[in-house]
Amino acid sequence: MSNVADQVPFLSTAELAHFIKSKQISCRQVLEIFLARCSQLNPSVNAIVVFDIERARSRASAADVALSKGEDWGVLHGVPCTIKENNDYKGTVATQGDPAWKNRVSPHSEVAIQRLLSHGAIIFGKTNLPFHAMDLQSYNDVYGTTHNPWDDTRTPGGSSGGSCVAVACGFTPFELGGDIGGSIRTPAAFCGVFGHKPTFGIIPKRGPFMEKHPKEISVRGPFARNADDLRLLMECLAFTDGASSRGMTMNLPRPTKKKLSEYKIAIWSDDLAAPVDDELVDAAERVALTLERLGATVSRTARPDYDFQSRNTSIYFKLTAAAATLSGEKPLKEVTLKEYRQALEEREEIRSSWERYFQEYDVLICPSHSTPAFVIDESEPKTKRTINVRRNGNIEQMSYYQPLWWAFLTNTGLLPSTTFPCGVGQLSNLPLGLNVVSSEYNDFICIDFVRLLSQESTNYEFTAPPGYGKKDAASQGKL
């Protein structure tokens, strides 16, 4: 049992569930190991900002009793985890980093959290995010700044920055974040973990502090340290419920291809609309060469027939501005009802363009963001900020929000996207991450493609940040 205990922070979700159910370690022991690790290491990165320890301990003890009686709560029985601070979990604060909401306690759990609990998960904390979950970094006046464990001068990304740091540092085997403009994909890439932005609407997004109908484009999605865990979590989270499905049932397509050689893949590694750092362009080319070596069909020039460069960003802002207005928030720019209706029509053109594209190509590989993790910048106004990008060996500056073009590229089409690690940059010494995108509802196909790719090379597996891996724990006495 001691050997299992030593491995706990580095085990996958599936492995933890197996060891718990086979009684090689108890639920309570697993929880205490994570809590001890968080106590020792979390202060330096400030990933977990809310702890719910006593309730978690009580639930872990109950999970152990249930196992002793032969009861099985589900595939996550007794597995501890954290969730993003803005997830509604009954009895916990949901401030969204807003001091005006510091006493805002969720009266009940949102649907996605109920789903995790129904499968046996034990939630022991909540992770940091930017103010109202709307930034490329993760800091606010309630909880402070979250740092990237690879370099504490760098951001872990936003808005699910705390989520990804917690997974990368071994504080939790998985997390639940959200994405409206890259908030799953960018932090996953910046921290070197796996993340999945689902097809819009397949994970119900309802709760006490959420709209009856979810915001345009906005989704919930999981983070983990391997693709198999993403699949497991999507099995738990993706479903229809009575309030949102209205009689529809969900039967997401399953992978049919067994080898990467069977895939037809497009690579979109760079674009003048949001120029990409040399390290990420090179990483995409290495992926392309790996796929070609394995016998896959790869195109570096295939693009959809919609003009994404000049039109897509405008459509994104019109859709999200309307949703913000309806929820009482102030959008970046007001839109009229006519503009919103026109944006909805345009979105259907975008969806049709992607549908035609994915009739020819199985998946698209593209960046999450134009750069690896950038230096923390909390100056105001945000619109005056810039980001450094290395182009042909030279450092250039781009506007702070320009890299969002890559998130908007697939957001307006409501497409699923799985972020996967691509090694560590030789110049930056930071994680590199790319996305696998496919047509609507092909979530499990995106995830399985990443699984197959990670089997081909350790370059596409999770790498722990310096000071947080197995060898570091053994040499430094860290749990």
Catalytic residue set: 84, 159, 183
- According to DSSP, residue 199 is labeled P
- 132, 75 in Cβ contact below 8 A? no
* Alpha carbon separation from 412 to 207, 252, 451, 467 (Å, rounded): 24, 20, 26, 39
Structure tokens at 46: 């400030």
Name the CA dihedral angle for 397, 400, 401, 405, rounded to a multiple of 10 degrees: 30
Kindly tell me the number of DSSP H helices and DSSP E strands found in the chain: 15, 15
Q: CA 25, 30, 33, 37: dihedral to nearest 10 degrees? A: 140
C-alpha distances out from residue 52 to 2, 85, 193, Å: 26, 12, 25
Could you report how far apart the first and last alpha carbons of the chain are, in Å?
15
402 vs 347, 369, 395, 433, CA distance in Å? Answer: 21, 9, 16, 18
